[in-house]
Amino acid sequence: MIVGVGIDVVDISRFAESLGRTPELSDRLFTANEQGLGIASLAARFAAKEAIAKALGAPGNLHWHDAEVFSEASGRPIMTMRGTVLARAELLGVTSCHLSLSHDAGIASAVVVLEG
């Protein structure tokens, strides 16, 4: 059963400008594992964090570091949840999280499907 679906898009150059204007923003949004990536990958990961929040009903108490995106050796993205994000997912009965990321033509996007 589908518990939630979320999608988000990010203008990569605008996102880069925001990170440039506010250097501490990167520390607030991304884990240490995520921070070493290029700007397009960071924008896609930010879109993924927004998308999972939407899929979870957009409660205001979620912490950015509680959703983290990893890539398998194949390149497949995986969303890990802990803390506030995991607590909300468990409350909704989420048992599986599907994630798709893309970036092209200056836009990064993410889709999250939660199953229960």
Integer Cα distance of 37 and 52 in angstroms? 20
* pTM of this structure: 0.95
If one counts every other C-beta atom within 10 angstroms of the C-beta of residue 1, the result is 7
Mean pLDDT of all residues belonging to the chain: 96
Sequence ranges of the domains in the chain: 2-115
In the CATH hierarchy, which top-level class contains the domain 2-115?
Answer: alpha beta
User: Hey, what are 99's tokens?
Assistant: 């994630």
12-68: pLDDT as tens digits:
999 999 999 998 999 999 999 999 899 999 999 999 999 999 999 988 889 999 999
Closest CA to 96 of 52, 64, 54, 60: 52
